[in-house]
Amino acid sequence: MTNKRVLIILTTIAVVAIALGIYWVVGRYFRPSQEEVETSVISGARVAIQHYHLTDQRNECLAFQLSQTSQNIYIVDVRENHADSKCAGDPEASPRLFSLQVSRDGKVIATDEGSSDGNFHPLAK
């Protein structure tokens, strides 16, 4: 093997090692925390609720319950929140209004709002 080929092979190995190291560091130290992801999911849900007029309830009269269905998708159950004195209703009750499917980055994918069978459907654009 010539010196030139050895140099090319060693350079390729070094570049791959550096790339893998950078990937590991970014994944390890710059990945958002679970709290940051959940905040993004709830924020996306709030934006979609207002944008698509999914309920007439005020923001302070809504509560959000998250469950993760996969690494990238959350189900957000949107409930009435009667704990705030500005919100009418029994403070002990928190009826479910509808659910949203939301990605980790806060993009709302679908809702079951208005669905008689509880199936999710995409939000109109």
Residues 2 and 62 in one domain: no
Residues 16 and 60 in one domain: no
Distance of CA 109 to the CA centre of its chain: 10
Query: Based on the structure, what is the number of domains in the chain?
Result: 2
Residues 74 and 17 in one domain: no
Residues 38 and 96 in one domain: yes
pTM as predicted: 0.72
Residues 101 and 79 in one domain: yes
CA distance from start to end of the chain? 61
pLDDT tens series, the chain, 125 aa:
677 787 777 788 777 777 777 766 665 666 778 888 889 899 999 999 999 999 999 989 999 999 988 888 999 999 999 888 888 888 888 999 999 999 888 888 899 988 888 899 988 76
Range of the domain at 94: 34-122
What is the DSSP secondary-structure string of 52-116? TT--SS-GGGEEEEEEESSSSEEEEEEEE---STTS-S-TT---EEEEEEEETTS-EEEE-TT-S
Residues 55 and 104 in one domain: yes
Residue 38: in which H helix or E strand, if any? helix 34-51
